[in-house]
Amino acid sequence: MTESKALILGAGGPVLSADEIALYRNERPWGFILFARNIQEPSQIADLAAAMRDTVGRPDAPVLIDQEGGRVQRIRPPLVEKYPSAAALGALYRQDREMGLRAAWLMSRLHAFDLLKLGINVDCLPVLDVPVEGASNVIGDRAYGFDPVTVSDMGKAAADGLTSGGVLPVMKHIPGHGRGMADSHHDLPVVAASRAELEAHDFLPFRALKDELMAMSAHIVFTAIDPDQPATTSPRVIEEIIRGYIGFDGLLMSDDTSMNALKGTIGERARRIAGGGCDIILHCNGVMEEMKAVVAEARPLQAEALRRARQVEAAFGPGDGSDETALRQEFWGLLYSS
């Protein structure tokens, strides 16, 4: 079988265009990602996921989504329930640790019920970023708390809830986006904290969850490690910190190539992502001309990246058989009783 390319691509709308089908068939992305523009109703979502997989001839091809809860929830009511933010769950944890952990596990398990029946098998959750006072609100209430222990504990519970439901988690944004004073969708955040500060705060949750199978990079410059390049394109950050100090040996995907924290043309950005050490180039917006520029720079999955991708594929499976109605009642009961 021809190997997949080290790509995850989006689509422009709720149904694949002829151009998208041709691009996917020719370029064979490893996976796909959905956004609100791709969402109309349940059978349409399932059909879109199936059509994406059909173009690459792989029924287990990853189909990702950002379904965190709070303000980052691509599938919304009435299709699924409106889930609370990570910060709301973190407040439960501070009130009662066990209750908070159970709530984090339950919400992820409910996400898995919602997503798997639609053909979506990867959720870009948990957010393991630890904000500091004054940081950009791009993370904000997406974080479980302002201390790394809370974030580590709750992130682990959230990841386990997804896995129990047959949906795989993606940690983000490794090695940490919490100190960013700018929104990396628009500008490049530069973090001047010392390595000792970063190790004690930002990197800690990722070390705690280093055995997860997937992570998404941070478009952030850490001047103490590499003053010239954001983590996403920095061989030094990826090798010394993500692979070395943190010890993460799973599949590392970039954050979105089209975010303006990255400089240069879309093709130049993709080339630097591939050259920096990320296993997978992520491109989200579904704009055809941009996708063509990205695929021109992408390589086939090979060597360590291929091994990591195969580990992910081997981990897909059915959920644990839990009673969905009972878990929903338990989750909302916890929320309302707090």
What pLDDT digit, counting tens, does each position of 190-203 carry? 999 999 999 999 99
Judge whether 111 counts as a catalytic residue: no
DSSP 94: H
pLDDT tens figures, 312-324: 999 999 999 999 9
State the catalytic residue, choosing from 183, 185, 187, 249.
185
Percent of the chain with pLDDT over 90: 90
Q: What are the phi and psi torsion angles at 43 (to 5°)?
A: -65, -35
pLDDT tens figures, 22-75: 999 999 999 999 999 999 999 999 999 999 999 999 999 999 999 999 999 999
Q: CA 99 to CA 82: how far, in whole Å?
A: 20
DSSP 141: G
Average pLDDT over residues 87-104: 97
pLDDT of residue 140: 87
Nearest to 168 by CA among 119, 117, 124: 124
The tokens for 308 are 């990591």
pLDDT of residue 338: 64
pLDDT of residue 239: 98
Average pLDDT over residues 68-84: 96
Judge whether 186 counts as a catalytic residue: no
pLDDT of residue 187: 78
Q: CA 30 to CA 40: how far, in whole Å?
A: 24
Nearest to 175 by CA among 195, 146, 154: 195
Q: What is the DSSP string of 8-21?
A: EE--SSSS--HHHH
Q: Rounded to 10 degrees, what is the CA torsion of 89, 92, 97, 100?
A: -40
Q: CA 146 to CA 116: how far, in whole Å?
A: 31
Distant-in-sequence, close-in-space partners of 314: CB < 8 Å, separation ≥ 6: none
Contact predicate 129/204, CB 8 Å: no
Beta strands in the chain (DSSP E): 5-9, 29-34, 63-65, 67-69, 72-73, 122-123, 168-169, 171-174, 190-191, 214-217, 221-222, 251-253, 281-283
pLDDT of residue 137: 76
Q: What is the DSSP string of 233-284?
A: G-HHIIIIIIIIIS---SEEE-S-TTSTTS-S-HHHHHHHHHHHT-SBEEE-
Q: CA 298 to CA 31: how far, in whole Å?
A: 13
Distant-in-sequence, close-in-space partners of 294: CB < 8 Å, separation ≥ 6: 7, 9, 257, 266, 267, 270, 281, 283
Q: CA 164 to CA 160: how far, in whole Å?
A: 6
pLDDT tens figures, 137-190: 778 899 999 999 999 999 999 999 999 999 999 999 999 999 987 666 777 889
Q: CA 238 to CA 174: how far, in whole Å?
A: 9
pLDDT tens figures, 264-278: 999 999 999 999 999
Q: Is the model's pLDDT at 135 over the cut of 90?
A: no
Average pLDDT over residues 88-116: 97
State the catalytic residue, choosing from 202, 255, 256, 279.
255
Cβ contacts of 234-241, under 8 Å, gap ≥ 24: 234/276, 234/277, 235/275, 235/276, 235/277, 237/175, 238/276, 238/277, 238/278, 239/277, 241/175, 241/203
pLDDT of residue 154: 98
Mean pLDDT across the chain: 95
pLDDT of residue 294: 97
pTM, two decimals, is 0.96
